[in-house]
Structure 1
Amino acid sequence: MHRRAVLHGITLAAGLSLLSALPAAAQTVEEIKGKGKLTVGMLVDFPPFGITNAENKPDGYDADVAKLMAKAMGLPLEIVPVTGPNRIPYLLTGKVDLLIASLGITPERAKQVAFSAPYAAIEIGVLAPEKTAIKAAADLAGKRVGVVRASTQDQAVTNAAPKEARIMRFDDDASAVQALLSGQVDSIGVSNVVAKEIKAMAPSANYEMKFVFRQQPNAVALRQGQDALMAWVNDFIGTIKKNGELNAIHKKWLGTELPEIKAP
């Protein structure tokens, strides 16, 4: 029993030591101001939301939102590059104040972090030339629709398209895009991220997203229980939506007006 008590004491002491070694986590805007800067975790390998520019600095949609947030707080901004797997751990251990890291709102993640109102969304829809008469899934009847095999787009088109649609499956995005550009297909199922790249490759074709199957809203992530900070963040997002600044960012990086984004 004595040996167990000693071991328990050692384990408890080690745990307390580990906790004390973690950075102090700011809980409010005033506490963030107290440390002199806003620290934001962001992906830098997910264009156009997160990239590294020619000056080797973080850039993209998320970076522009983070810059506006720091400006609203009256603070300098420090962007901390994160990865998909480590972004939530970075937040939970206080290495960053919050995440603006293309984090989609899901029930599983909501068990770990608190989500703000959405500020962006990945959309899955059908892209085709402006002159192509498609307004809804029913209009795909008789049309050749390209998709990447076993992708989210494949699932969405297969579930929604009428049986008269000719679904043509390709092994990767590059092949599907080339099929559209060459006229091998009339349209393709695609995300708004890839759609923006296609429009840039062939501006004269006047490609447009005909309709959207689904949205994956992205939100700012905070630690749970940061109610005051969450209220400030939501107010900030509402403000940049109303004054047009978020729409300008969306047009800059995705080439379209900011759509109506519904929280799941």
Structure 2
Amino acid sequence: MKRLLLSTLLVTALASAHAGRLEEIHARGVLRVGSTGDYKPFSYRAGANDFIGLDVEQAGELARAMGVKLEIVPTSWPTLMTDFGADKFDIVLSGVSVTAERQQQALFSVSYLRDGKTPITRCENQLRFQTLEQINQPAVRLIVNPGGTNERFARAHAPHAQLTVYPDNVTIFGQIVSGAADLMMTDAIETRLQQRLHPELCAVHPDAPFDTAEKAILLPRDAELKIYVDTWLQQRISSGGLQKSFDRWLDYPWALEPLRQAIDERLLLAEAVARAKWNVQAPIEDLPREAQVIAAAVQQGRTLGLPDAWVAAVFKAQIEASKTVQRELYAKWKAQQAGHFDDAPDLANTIRPQLDRITTQLLRAMADNQATLKDTARLIRPLEAAALSPAAAAQALAPLSAHVVVRF
């Protein structure tokens, strides 16, 4: 009965919107969701058009409930409200904190998480940064990402500390690991996650943050849309679906993302390689060259402590996957009687340097994740699938786990 009532409320809210945002969304057939892509576990940009995370999954569920497609629109914390005011997206789902400043321009859904600001630092420095008084000292090097609640909190509560506003919220924690900064102030949930990704770092009293804040969906000033979203979100909360999603994304193997991205980027070059070969009618398969690539990768892997068999197996599988994509393209171009591609890059001077760069990134990511991988099966399976069929190639770079990835 409760579910029936909630479903009825959803339908009623939708039907009552005459010229509001809900009607616009349905007329467009697309729900545009702003997301920053730099805040694990809520939103992470894993590729040019590839966003993953709890709030990305929530956005997909909401779009399905509305019966429309989902479009993720990239934004950033410094430009979030400006982009919102410019109507670049309908709503924002990105681990957004409810603030009075944001409420001046927008509405918020019901809250789906309570959190607060707390420090994260190198583990040997935990006792140094237990209080705001300890942090608010001229000798303390405090680092934050720009434009959001982290920066505002730091400026308000630690004005005497040496504040660095670092532009990249994805790599900012490496600044603390390297010793370039002493600590960061951020949401407790992020400190818990980042200490798992960086064993050198420890969250400082995440169960007792310095303040509290609610996470919610940022909405336009449209009452009907708020009713719809609130009802949908309350149903997800009461059913336990939100908690299950939250737990899954907290357990997601985030450390593997750089590895997945390197594999993805390398395979995406297959079309450029095929175009370059097509222009000179070169064969797709070049076994001597493939052997050289694998041997060079194995040698480079040794310097990183990687087993030869791991490296050879991964690169052999990736080369086979790339050739599958190239063969499918050759077949299509032959059927189309395609001519010379004027935009084809130079194989030796353009593509191979890119492949060399990606190889280095891939090997480093493998080395960083040896303990997690234990063997190469998780890397090779998607690539072997891609080598079996062109259809599988399109999905070859699904995540290296069974978790959800949303592509747009």
Q: Normalization by structure 1: what TM-score?
A: 0.59
Deviations 1:43-77 (A, max 9, x none): 11233322122574111222111111111112110
Partners of 2:39 and 2:94 within 8 A in 1: no
Partners of 1:123 and 1:212 within 8 A in 2: yes
2:194 match = 197
Query: Which amino acid in the other structure matches residue 71 of structure 1?
Result: R
Partners of 2:118 and 2:205 within 8 A in 1: no
Q: Kindly tell me: are residues 175 and 83 of structure 1, through their superposed partners in 2, closer, same or farther at Cα, counting changes over 3 Å?
A: closer
For 1:135-154, list aligned pairs within 5 A.
145=129, 149=141
1:32 match = 25
- 1:53 to 2:73 alignment: no
1:113 match = 106
2:241 match = 245
Partners of 1:240 and 1:246 within 8 A in 2: yes
1:66 match = 59
Partners of 1:121 and 1:216 within 8 A in 2: yes
| Aligned equivalents of 1:249, 1:98: Cα separation in 2 | 20
| Aligned equivalents of 1:121, 1:200: Cα separation in 2 | 22
Partners of 2:191 and 2:206 within 8 A in 1: no
Partners of 1:44 and 1:52 within 8 A in 2: yes
1:215 match = 212
Q: Normalization by structure 2: what TM-score?
A: 0.40
Q: Kindly tell me: are residues 200 and 233 of structure 1, through their superposed partners in 2, closer, same or farther at Cα, counting changes over 3 Å?
A: same
Partners of 1:126 and 1:211 within 8 A in 2: no
- Name the Cα RMSD after superposition: 4.2
Structure richer in strand, relative to its length? 1
- The offset of 1:177, in angstroms, is 6.6
Deviations 1:217-238 (A, max 9, x none): 22212222x1011111111111
Partners of 1:157 and 1:189 within 8 A in 2: no
Q: Kindly tell me: are residues 174 and 154 of structure 1, through their superposed partners in 2, closer, same or farther at Cα, counting changes over 3 Å?
A: farther
Helix, strand or coil for the counterpart of 1:41?
Answer: strand
Structure 2: stretches of 5+ with no match in the other structure: 1-18, 121-125, 144-149, 165-171, 253-408
Deviations 1:86-136 (A, max 9, x none): 322333333211121333211122111111112334433588xxxxxxxxx
| Aligned equivalents of 2:177, 2:114: Cα separation in 1 | 21
Partners of 1:39 and 1:96 within 8 A in 2: yes
1:184 match = none
- 1:254 to 2:253 alignment: no
Q: Using the aligned pairs only, state the percent identity.
A: 25
Q: Kindly tell me: are residues 255 and 228 of structure 1, through their superposed partners in 2, closer, same or farther at Cα, counting changes over 3 Å?
A: same
Q: Kindly tell me: are residues 218 and 86 of structure 1, through their superposed partners in 2, closer, same or farther at Cα, counting changes over 3 Å?
A: same
Structure richer in helix, relative to its length? 2
Helix, strand or coil for the counterpart of 1:199?
Answer: helix
Deviations 1:210-260 (A, max 9, x none): 433322222212222x1011111111111111112211222233359xxxx
Larger Rg computed on CA atoms? 2
Partners of 2:107 and 2:219 within 8 A in 1: yes
